[in-house]
Amino acid sequence: MSADTYLNLVNGGFTGKLAKQLGLPQPTPLRRFQEGQALLDGPVLVIGDDELARLLSADWDLDVHRVAAPDLRYSAVVLGLTSLTHPSELAAPVLELAGVLKRLARGGRVFTVSRAATSDDAPAVAAARQGVDGFLRSIAKELRGGATANGLVLGSDVPVTAPSVVGALRFFLSTRSAFVDGQLLEVDSLAGSLPASWDRPLAGRVAVVTGAARGIGESIADTLARDGATVVVVDVPAAGEHLVVVANRVRGTALQLDVTAPDAGARILEHALARHGRLDIVVHNAGITRDKLLANMTPEKWDSVLAVNIASQLAINEALLTSGDFTDAPRIVSLASTSGIAGNRGQANYAASKGGVIGMVRATAPLLEVFGGTANAVAPGFIETEMTARIPAVTRQVARRLNSLQQGGLPVDVAETVAFLASPAAGGIVGRVLRVCGQNLVGR
């Protein structure tokens, strides 16, 4: 059962009927990934792009349709919009989508593939391309039944067959992206490679996860290990007992370490090399909150949050980048937050640190590109954790409903997104932030 009592009640028998009669919101429990699960359970409608249709039908053996059938419920609708040159060209594909939305299956997917609008574009081209952004985000707020709408925005020289386009398309169409909604992710280049196995895309890679003893970090460790990585779990000595439990479960190793220690980066690298012979992926998950209105903020509360949430990441990254041992298509994935994007009352320190993470990955990514590497961030919204369980009950219920899916996410939702960005197929996604928030109704 979910920790969300309301979600459980309004999807029960009698209480569900009562909620419907009273006109109460009835969020749909999300279907999340289980090993052995098919990519999609039903037919897919592809609108407007022959190459996308070929990829889905020939390469992935999906039941692909190019013309909507009146008697089918579609598991996904994919719109190829890369050739737009004028806003008027949006009408045909969008209205074709409108005709099948009522037949989108529960937990279905709407997905767009378009191109980035730039200052070099003709005004009409830029208008058409930017129009996809507003259309997609609006559709995401209209869908029901646990369905989501997301999109890819391709750089000018990136074809739909690029590894990161293919990898992202699989991620977004699958149940791994259950709590990602209303997002447009940019694919910047042709870099990256398709994995030998989609079931174990991280096989042969060594990953470090900080703050891994509990919550989101623990789930990230589990998910990376499931995907084939050897995992080093890191947390403070006080969490050592549970950290060892996590390490044993994922068949990795544990390192008790305060990430703010001056030698944290060197010790992480030394441990990974000594125990596993390499280091390929670093997930900066360790973080703290010390919430106070700014008028009541103390130096200790400000400094400690900035030290753990951003300064430690900067120092560890510098140690890795100057070591000469982090050069085989490395991946850095940092945990940001929607608070760092839209702000949050009483969290000036936390929001500053998480906004700092976003700036950091944007500036760090070019330093890794020479090695075929990337740095990206994941920005969770309201996630059901021990920390959010301590929020007052009424505030917690309100926070859960303030997104298009009308519920909180789970740690595994963040973990699945981290695993995707850490994968070989995400090599063309550079310095980006992907929100895992169910499409918060405030902020972008």
Residue type, 149: A
Question: For 301, phi and psi rounded to 5 degrees?
Answer: -70, -35
Q: What's the pLDDT tens digit per position in 298-346?
A: 999 999 999 999 999 999 999 999 999 999 999 999 999 999 999 989 9
The arithmetic mean of pLDDT across residues 50-70, rounded, is 91
Interval 122-147: pLDDT, tens: 999 999 999 999 999 999 999 999 99
Model confidence at 16: pLDDT above 80: no
pLDDT of the residue at 442: 58
Instruction: In whole angstroms, give the CA distance from residue 343 to residue 346.
Output: 9
- Tens of pLDDT, residues 167-186: 999 999 999 999 999 999 99
pLDDT in tens, 293-303: 999 999 999 99
Domains of the chain: 1-30 (no CATH), 32-187 (3.40.50.720), 206-436 (3.40.50.720)
Q: Kindly report the number of other CB atoms within 10 A of residue 199's CB atom.
A: 12
- pLDDT over threshold 80, residue 391: no
Cβ distance 74 to 42 under 8 Å?
yes
- Residue 2 — pLDDT band, cuts 50, 70, 90? low
Q: With beta carbons less than 8 A apart as the criterion, state whether 316 and 240 touch.
A: no
- What are the strands, taking DSSP E only, across 370-417? 374-380
pLDDT band for position 268 (50/70/90)?
very high
221 contacts: CB under 8 Å, gap ≥ 6 = 209, 212, 231, 233, 246, 250, 252
4: Cα within 13 Å, side-chain hemisphere: 26
Q: Give one DSSP letter per residue of 306-358, joined into a string.
A: HIIIIIHHHHHHHHHHTTS---SS-EEEEE--THHHH--TTBHHHHHHHHHHH
Q: Give the model's confidence band at 397: pLDDT under 50 very low, under 70 low, under 90 confident, else very high.
A: confident
Which pLDDT value is given to residue 269?
98
Give percent of the chain with pLDDT exceeding 90: 85
Query: What is the pLDDT confidence band of residue 250, given thresholds at 50, 70 and 90?
Result: very high
Which residue from 137, 43, 41, 125 is spatially nearest to 89, judged by alpha carbons? 125
| pLDDT tens for each residue of 151-163 | 999 999 999 999 9
Give the angle subtended at the CA of 405 by the CAs of 437 and 112, to the nearest 5°.
75
pLDDT, mean of residues 32-53: 93
Residue 402 in this model has a pLDDT that exceeds 80: yes
Average pLDDT over residues 14-21: 76
Tokens encoding 99: 């005709």
Q: Is 182 left (phi over 0), alpha (psi -120 to 50) or beta?
A: left
CA distance 444 to 440: 8
Kindly report the pTM of this predicted structure.
0.95
Tell me the average pLDDT of the chain.
94
Tracing tokens 């009522």 back to the chain, one arrives at: 102
In the annotation, is 74 catalytic? no
Instruction: Tell me what pLDDT residue 3 has.
Output: 77
Own/partner pairs, 258-262, CB within 8 angstroms, 24+ separation: 259/210, 259/211, 259/234, 259/286, 259/308, 259/312, 259/313, 259/316, 260/307, 260/308, 260/311, 260/312, 262/315
Greater pLDDT, 270 or 388: 270
Least confident of 50-64, 174-188, 253-267: 50-64
> Would you mind telling me the total number of residues written for the chain in this entry?
444
Does 444 have pLDDT greater than 80?
Answer: no
**270 has pLDDT over 60:** yes
Q: For residues 84 and 127, give the distance between their C-alpha atoms in angstroms, rounded to a whole number.
A: 10
Q: Which of 6, 171, 172, 350 is catalytic?
A: 350
Q: How far is 330 from 319, CA to CA, in rounded Å?
A: 14
**For the chain, how far is it from start to end, CA to CA, in angstroms?**
31
List the single range of 277-281, 392-396, 410-414, 433-437 with lowest mean pLDDT: 392-396
Percent above pLDDT 70 for the chain: 99
3-state secondary structure of 11: coil
Q: What is the mean pLDDT of residues 72-94?
A: 97
For 127, the token pair is 């208008």
Provide the 3-class DSSP secondary structure of residue 443: coil
Max Cα distance, the chain (Å): 64
* Integer Cα distance of 71 and 236 in angstroms: 57
Q: What average pLDDT does the segment 51-77 reach? A: 92
Above 90 in pLDDT, residue 195?
Answer: yes
Q: Tell me which of 164-173, 253-262, 316-325, 384-393 is least confident.
A: 384-393
Determine the average pLDDT of the residues in 14-35.
Answer: 83
- Listed in sequence order, the residues at least 6 apart from 248 whose beta carbon sits closer than 8 Å to its beta carbon are none
Mean pLDDT within 346-369: 96
- 1 has pLDDT over 60: no
Return d(Cα 421, Cα 84) in angstroms, integer: 28
